[in-house]
Amino acid sequence: MFNRLTATLLASTLLTGTAWAETTIKAVMHSGLRVLDPVITTAHITRNHAYMIYDVLIAQDSEFQPQPQMADWTVSDDKLTYTFTLRDGLSFHDGAPVTAADAVASLQRWAQKDAGGQIIMDRTASLESTDDKTITWMLTEPFVPMLDVLSKQSALPPFIMPARVAATSADEAITDYTGSGPFRFVEAEFQPGLTVVYEKFDDYVPREEPADWMAGGKVVNVDRVEWVNMPDVQTAVNALSGGEIDYIEAMQVDLIPLLEGDPNIVVETREPTGMQTMVRMNFLHPPFDNQEVRQAALKAIQQEPVLAAMVGNPDYYQVCGAILGCGTPLESATGSETLTEGGGAEAARAQLEAAGYDGTPVVLMAPTDMVALATQPVVVSQMLREAGFEVELQPMDWQTLVTRRASQAAPAEGGWNVFITNWMVPEISNPISNPMLNGRGDDAWFGWPTDETIEGLKESFIDAADAETQVQVAGEIQAHALDAGLLIPLGQYTLPQARRTTITEMINSPVPVFWGLQKTE
Amino acid sequence: MLGYILRRCLAVIPVMLLVAVFVFLLLRLTPGDPAAIIAGDMATPAQLERIREAMGLNQPLHVQFATWVGRLLQGDLGVSLISNTPVATMVADRIGPTLSIALLTILMSVAMAVPMGVLAAWKHRSVADYAVMTFSVLGFSVPVFVIGYLFILVFSLKLGWFPVQGYKPLGAGLGAFLSNAFLPALTLSTIYVALIARMTRANMLEVLGEDYIRTARAKGAPERTVLFRHALKNAAVPILTVIGSGFALLIGGVVVTETVFNIPGVGRLTVDAILARDYPVIQAMILLTSFLYVLVNLLIDLSYSIFDPRIRY
């Protein structure tokens, strides 16, 4: 009897021991996941989710260079034919092999939504699978940034899905979440806005190169990753301190002191380029339909006070006049001296007077429910007032703002003059994908500038024969964009991540990824 | 009694219909665009328009209303515009934590507040009375999130007795459930203890001054019998009303507490849906909450007759 009991206890202990051996990462991401289709939305949390369960043909490394991921490529001498060859061992989570037909269908759906994809499609003669492993993409004219667009990591990366899933209309969300990425989505445990669970995809074959940003081998060393949404960062901080979670993707800088004395926790900047915050003006209505007034606004604003109010700790922000971001290959500071160094207020007042500004109130929309956007409007409005603008700061929730910014009506009739928003630097680091640099009037991003010069400069960028010429054209784009007032960059900032020391070897990529890392108990 | 219940149930229909119309119109008049949430910041106006069309948000209001009511009558609460998940599933996932924590809160509140109120009335103007009243004032005055954070600091982070956050259903075991639910329920209890204790005290004071209490004491009834059988039973009706209303409020969702303790309840579901303008979810939640309010009120009314035989329906 005793022996049987002992054996039973021993067996149950061993079984329990096996269960404990599963390595689980509990992470609090910057927001809850609700939309699961990475083509229908540009939301970062959906993109992050997509990087977990899908893979991409080619990916960007830390030098912003495209590298092979699912496929290697060759380019014909005339630069008109791109041939991608899928590597061996690729399979979807349902066991089916990844074929070139899947990739072609996914690229076609992606290109209906992505601005860069649309530009490529405008130059596409044919896109087809020539055999199970080969994708042949023929262009009508050379398109130098082709690989940059296909390897970009944000808004929108071309994730590869099964052809049956990619057959879904690009305006409707997919309902089948079969991917071929390093993790498998556990649909049964998904609670929108609350919890997402991923399990290691055992059949995933990583590349042999070391991981570098989104490129290289995606070696998974944990069995399970759980994203738990905690809308209150203080709760997440408490949970991290208590050891209930392993990782917080984005910390509020003012909460960092709570964790600094804890030897079990590391607070760090994952990726230094971070985010850009910026002003967008409405070109359709006075006073910003006047270029001189827009230039006066540019001169009136200085970045440092905005960033100090927004972030507070200088370790986590930097003044940066580059519209394509500082720390990027196309960085240029031309025309941003007053923004970064100040001293433009007098000139702003003089220019405003010369422009014949008649005191028309400027409606500045100020979202109060978004921590990352709440302070900038207050500081910017005061700077504009000091330069002589009449500013009407209108507090509202973010949803009201996103609805109202789509209105082309006059500000007094429900429209607007100015709002402020933030972007991840990698997603605005290229003139083709940067929405602020769209000068096609009604088809442009909110603010609707009609600007043939910027469109011409973008064409020159696309047609540039080499990287050196691209940098030169990017400099011209920078100078023109600030002169025309397409945007006013307010600087760059990072939101540090916090992790328990049991998590090591995290990859310092702009997108938080869960391959490569190790967890020790 | 049965006729009364039937009449009250029938009265629910026009109430719910009015709520449905009001909620639907109010939401459509509020600025906001779920398509913008789905599409993200980089979407162009043309892309937004196509998503709106695919979601049916471009249809005339009366068509959208008719579609919604038609589905509702078939028991279909619709599908979330944002996550594409059936609303019924979302509500079912979230109502459990809210209901169980509401129930635990009310149980704890009643268990603490009624004896405190009785004690305060019985020992009127004594140290015990002043202590109960001081606690009540504090319970009303200190914001619930401050209490929550304080409890987390002391009981979770310093003493390590309870987890900081999260929720475990009863199915995971009573210990696991209580371990997670105790602190949120205790936090929520502070305000209800204050409320119920004050109400109990005030009503007990009134009843204890009645002639029949003096008679009961004169005929030698033990003080415990006087207090709990004669006095408390007669003071119970207003106390029940407060407890019932409190329970209904808790079911409606306690967003702050759910946020502080990271409880996946209906309060957070509703607020998230409002922020994202997820119309089907908001509509379902308001209808459900209204229905629960009506139901709880009916149950309170019916329970009066148990404590006061003079009340007949």
Task: Give the CATH number, domain containing residue A148.
Answer: 3.40.190.10
pLDDT of A12 over the 50 cut: no
Give the domain CATH number at A302: 3.10.105.10
Backbone angles phi, psi at A448, to 5 degrees: 45, 55
CA distance B50 to B38: 12
Same structural domain for residues A447 and A328? yes
E strand or H helix that includes residue A213? none
Residue with tokens 């691209």: A470
Residue B89 touches partner A, C-beta closer than 8 Å: no
> Would you call B264 and A194 a contact, using CB atoms and an 8 Å cutoff?
yes
The per-residue pLDDT for A3 is 47
Judge whether B15 lies within some domain: no
CB of B32 closer than 8 Å to CB of A399? yes
The stretch A176-182 carries a mean pLDDT of 97
pLDDT of A155 over the 80 cut: no
User: Where in the sequence is the domain holding B178, given as residue range(s)?
Assistant: 94-307
CB of A483 closer than 8 Å to CB of A449? no
CA distance A390 to A392: 7
E strand or H helix that includes residue B131? helix B127-141
Q: Which two tokens stand for residue B224?
A: 């415990």
Judge whether A153 lies within some domain: yes
Judge whether B292 lies within some domain: yes
Closest CA to A354 of A436, A295, A267, A276: A295
> Would you call B40 and A398 a contact, using CB atoms and an 8 Å cutoff?
no
> Would you call B164 and A242 a contact, using CB atoms and an 8 Å cutoff?
yes
Please tell me which of the candidates B83, B260, B264 has its beta carbon nearest to residue A232: B260
Query: Between helices B174-208 and B127-141, what is the axis angle to 10°?
Result: 120
**How does pLDDT run along chain B (313 residues), one tens digit per residue?**
788 888 888 888 888 889 889 889 888 888 778 888 777 777 777 778 888 887 888 889 899 999 988 988 898 998 898 888 899 999 999 999 999 999 999 999 999 999 999 999 999 999 999 999 999 999 889 999 999 999 999 999 999 999 999 999 999 999 999 999 999 999 999 999 999 999 999 999 999 999 999 999 999 999 999 998 889 988 888 898 888 888 888 876 688 899 999 999 999 999 889 888 899 999 999 998 888 888 888 888 888 887 777 777 7
A272 confidence band (pLDDT: 50, 70, 90):
confident
Residue A372 touches partner B, C-beta closer than 8 Å: no
How close B303 gets to chain A, by Cα (Å)? 38
For chain B, the residue count is: 313
Share of chain A above pLDDT 90, in %: 77
Which of A44, A118, A402 should one mutate to test binding to chain B, selecting the residue with the greatest count of B CBs within 10 A?
A402
Same structural domain for residues A377 and A481? yes
Which of B164, B168, B179, B285 should one mutate to test binding to chain A, selecting the residue with the greatest count of A CBs within 10 A?
B164
> Would you call B82 and A32 a contact, using CB atoms and an 8 Å cutoff?
no
Helix (H, G, I), strand (E, B) or coil at A139: strand
The stretch A177-205 carries a mean pLDDT of 96
Same structural domain for residues A188 and A305? no
Residue B10 touches partner A, C-beta closer than 8 Å: no
Judge whether B45 lies within some domain: no
Same structural domain for residues A488 and A512? no
The per-residue pLDDT for A21 is 63
Residue A367 touches partner B, C-beta closer than 8 Å: no
- Count structural domains, chain B: 1
Same structural domain for residues A306 and A365? yes
Give the domain CATH number at B259: 1.10.3720.10
E strand or H helix that includes residue B291? helix B279-307
Residue A258 touches partner B, C-beta closer than 8 Å: no
pLDDT of A521 over the 80 cut: no
> Would you call B38 and A35 a contact, using CB atoms and an 8 Å cutoff?
yes
CB of A50 closer than 8 Å to CB of A38? yes
Judge whether A197 lies within some domain: yes
> Would you call A369 and B152 a contact, using CB atoms and an 8 Å cutoff?
no
Q: What's the half-sphere exposure (Cβ side, CA atoms, 13 Å) at A123? A: 19
CA distance A480 to A431: 12
Tell the burial category of A256 from Cβ atoms under 10 Å away from its Cβ (0-12, 13-18, 19+): middle
Please tell me which of the candidates B33, B50, B80 has its beta carbon nearest to residue A192: B80
Answering whether pTM is above 0.90, one says no
CA distance B262 to B168: 11
Judge whether A36 lies within some domain: yes
The per-residue pLDDT for B73 is 87
Same structural domain for residues A155 and A280? no
Residue B277 touches partner A, C-beta closer than 8 Å: yes
**pLDDT digits 0-9 by tens, A443-453:** 888 999 999 99
Strands of A81-86's sheet, edge to edge?
A71-75, A81-86, A134-139, A124-131
Residue A25 touches partner B, C-beta closer than 8 Å: no
Q: Which positions ≥6 away from A293 have C-beta within 8 Å?
A: A287, A352, A355, A357
Beta bridge partners of B59: none
> Would you call A403 and B80 a contact, using CB atoms and an 8 Å cutoff?
no
> Would you call B32 and A406 a contact, using CB atoms and an 8 Å cutoff?
no
The stretch A475-489 carries a mean pLDDT of 97
Same structural domain for residues A312 and A396? yes
Judge whether A39 lies within some domain: yes
Residue B260 touches partner A, C-beta closer than 8 Å: yes
Judge whether B4 lies within some domain: no
**pLDDT digits 0-9 by tens, A407-438:** 899 999 989 999 999 998 988 998 988 989 99
Closest CA to B275 of B33, B65, B55: B33
The stretch A102-113 carries a mean pLDDT of 96
Residue A317 touches partner B, C-beta closer than 8 Å: no
Q: How far is CA B212 from CA A142, A310, B236, in A?
A: 100, 68, 16
Kindly report the average pLDDT of chain A as a whole number: 91
Same structural domain for residues A287 and A405? yes
> Would you call B84 and A427 a contact, using CB atoms and an 8 Å cutoff?
no
> Would you call B38 and A194 a contact, using CB atoms and an 8 Å cutoff?
no
Judge whether B236 lies within some domain: yes
Tell the burial category of B131 from Cβ atoms under 10 Å away from its Cβ (0-12, 13-18, 19+): middle
Q: Looking at beta carbons, which residues of chain A come within 8 Å of B261?
A: 235
Q: Residues 435..474 of A with a Cβ closer than 8 Å to B: which? A: 435, 438, 442-446
A270 confidence band (pLDDT: 50, 70, 90):
confident
Judge whether B39 lies within some domain: no
How close B33 gets to chain A, by Cα (Å)? 6
**pLDDT digits 0-9 by tens, A53-68:** 999 999 999 988 999 9
Same structural domain for residues A469 and A507? no
Q: What's the half-sphere exposure (Cβ side, CA atoms, 13 Å) at A338? A: 18
Judge whether B36 lies within some domain: no
Residue B53 touches partner A, C-beta closer than 8 Å: yes
Q: Residues 384..403 of A with a Cβ closer than 8 Å to B: which? A: 396-400, 402-403
Closest-approach residue (CA) in chain A for B52: A171
Q: Residues 140..179 of B with a Cβ closer than 8 Å to A: which? A: 149, 152, 156-157, 160, 163-166
CA distance B94 to B97: 6
> Would you call B47 and A423 a contact, using CB atoms and an 8 Å cutoff?
no
Same structural domain for residues A204 and A297? no
Q: Looking at beta carbons, which residues of chain B come within 8 Å of A157?
A: none
Judge whether B87 lies within some domain: no
CA distance A153 to A161: 16
- Count structural domains, chain A: 2
The per-residue pLDDT for A6 is 46
> Would you call A192 and B262 a contact, using CB atoms and an 8 Å cutoff?
no
Q: Residues 143..162 of A with a Cβ closer than 8 Å to B: which? A: 155-156
User: Where in the sequence is the domain holding A124, given as residue range(s)?
Assistant: 24-228+503-519
Q: What is the largest CA-CA distance in chain A?
A: 100
Same structural domain for residues A119 and A198? yes
Which of A399, A401, A424 should one mutate to test binding to chain B, selecting the residue with the greatest count of B CBs within 10 A?
A399
The per-residue pLDDT for A267 is 95
Please tell me which of the candidates B36, B152, B157 has its beta carbon nearest to residue A402: B36
> Would you call A242 and B37 a contact, using CB atoms and an 8 Å cutoff?
no
Same structural domain for residues A342 and A487? yes
Residue B251 touches partner A, C-beta closer than 8 Å: no
Please tell me which of the candidates B41, B165, B260 has its beta carbon nearest to residue A42: B41
**Which range (A118-127, A501-510, B251-260) has the least confidence?**
B251-260
Judge whether A143 lies within some domain: yes
CA distance A146 to A137: 11
CA distance A66 to A153: 10
The per-residue pLDDT for A107 is 98
Q: How far is CA A82 from CA A72, A463, B119, in A?
A: 10, 17, 85
The per-residue pLDDT for B6 is 87
